[in-house]
């Protein structure tokens, strides 16, 4: 797997690179410290995983806008946001913009290892605090545990055997933030068919939108490649 780290602090880039390499998760890791470099890299080479700092410093393009640009240039990449501010709103904005995960820069090694392991294995990591509960009016249930990090995330196929391979293709594309148009082009089908597939998939997952689907998959610890 090839991973690209984008963070305006080269120190943090190097640390994250070291962690990815130690985990043995990535065959190649590149780092860059601003949005221009990031877009150049994304344009020139294929990256499976883009670990993106939400805030690239004053005056730099970042956040939702940059996620959109990266997804448009490289629809197959999975963009995972890394941010010191992991408020519910920020996470929501990142997922809405097309991110397939959100790793808080929180100072806990275990959490970082978990998050990086899950995302580098194709899972969706979201901070547990933002994960929705289907029924919010009951008394608290045991907290959601992120999927057991040992065996790695399960596939969508296993969790939703009723979905067809084509529907899963469409879902994976959508979850990565691609627009219906992009998905249609990538899979060689019509926009209308994409829409139909997505409706079917959302019904199967019991969700109403791409964003909800991302939360749902994160909740279940499923792999999206």
Q: In the complex, what is the shortest distance from the CB of residue 108 to other proteins, in angstroms, rounded to a whole number? A: 6
DSSP labels, 82-135: EES---HHHHHHHHHHT-S-EEE--S-HHHHHHHHHHHHTTB----GGGPPPS-
Q: In the complex, what is the shortest distance from the CB of residue 219 to other proteins, in angstroms, rounded to a whole number? A: 12
Q: In the complex, what is the shortest distance from the CB of residue 159 to other proteins, in angstroms, rounded to a whole number? A: 18
The radius of gyration of the chain from alpha carbons, rounded to an integer in Å, stands at 17
* Among candidate residues 17, 8, 7, the one with its CA nearest the CA of residue 120: 17
| Smaller CB separation from other proteins, 2 or 105 | 105
**DSSP assigned state of 209:** S
| Smaller CB separation from other proteins, 194 or 222 | 194
Q: In the complex, what is the shortest distance from the CB of residue 185 to other proteins, in angstroms, rounded to a whole number? A: 12
| Smaller CB separation from other proteins, 44 or 145 | 145
Q: In the complex, what is the shortest distance from the CB of residue 20 to other proteins, in angstroms, rounded to a whole number? A: 10
* Helix (H) or strand (E) segment spanning residue 46: none
By CB under 8 A, name the binding residues for other proteins: 9, 11-12, 14-16, 18-19, 22-23, 55, 57-58, 84, 87-89, 92-93, 96, 105-110, 112-113, 128-130, 132-133, 136-137, 139-140, 142-144, 174, 179-181, 191-192, 194-195, 198, 202-203, 206, 208-212
Q: Which two tokens stand for residue 37?
A: 């470099």
| Smaller CB separation from other proteins, 40 or 132 | 132
3-state SS of the chain: helix, strand, coil percent to 5? Answer: 50, 15, 40
Q: Which two tokens stand for residue 51?
A: 């670990």
Q: Is the separation of the CB atoms in 174 and 198 below 8 Å?
A: yes
| Smaller CB separation from other proteins, 157 or 209 | 209
């Amino acid at each position: 797997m090839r991973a690209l780290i984008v963070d305006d602090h080269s120190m943090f880039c190097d640390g994250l690179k070291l962690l990815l390499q130690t985990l043995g998760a990535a065959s190649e890791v590149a780092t860059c410290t601003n949005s221009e470099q990031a877009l150049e890299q994304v344009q020139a080479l294929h990256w499976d995983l883009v670990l993106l700092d939400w805030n690239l410093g004053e005056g730099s393009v970042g956040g939702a806008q940059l996620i959109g640009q990266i997804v448009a240039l490289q629809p197959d990449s999975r963009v995972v946001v890394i941010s010191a501010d992991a408020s519910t709103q920020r996470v929501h904005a990142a997922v809405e913009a097309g991110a397939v995960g959100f790793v808080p820069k929180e100072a806990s090694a275990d959490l970082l290892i978990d998050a990086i392991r899950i995302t580098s294995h194709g899972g969706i990591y979201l901070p547990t605090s933002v994960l929705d509960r289907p029924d919010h009016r009951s008394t608290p249930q045991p907290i959601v545990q992120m999927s057991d990090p040992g065996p790695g995330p399960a596939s969508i196929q296993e969790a939703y055997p009723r979905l067809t391979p084509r529907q899963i293709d469409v879902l994976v594309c959508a979850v990565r933030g691609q627009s219906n148009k992009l998905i249609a082009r990538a899979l060689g089908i019509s926009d209308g068919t994409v829409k139909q597939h997505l409706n079917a998939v959302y019904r199967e997952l019991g969700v109403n939108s791409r964003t909800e689907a991302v939360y749902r998959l994160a909740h279940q610890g499923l792999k999206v490649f």
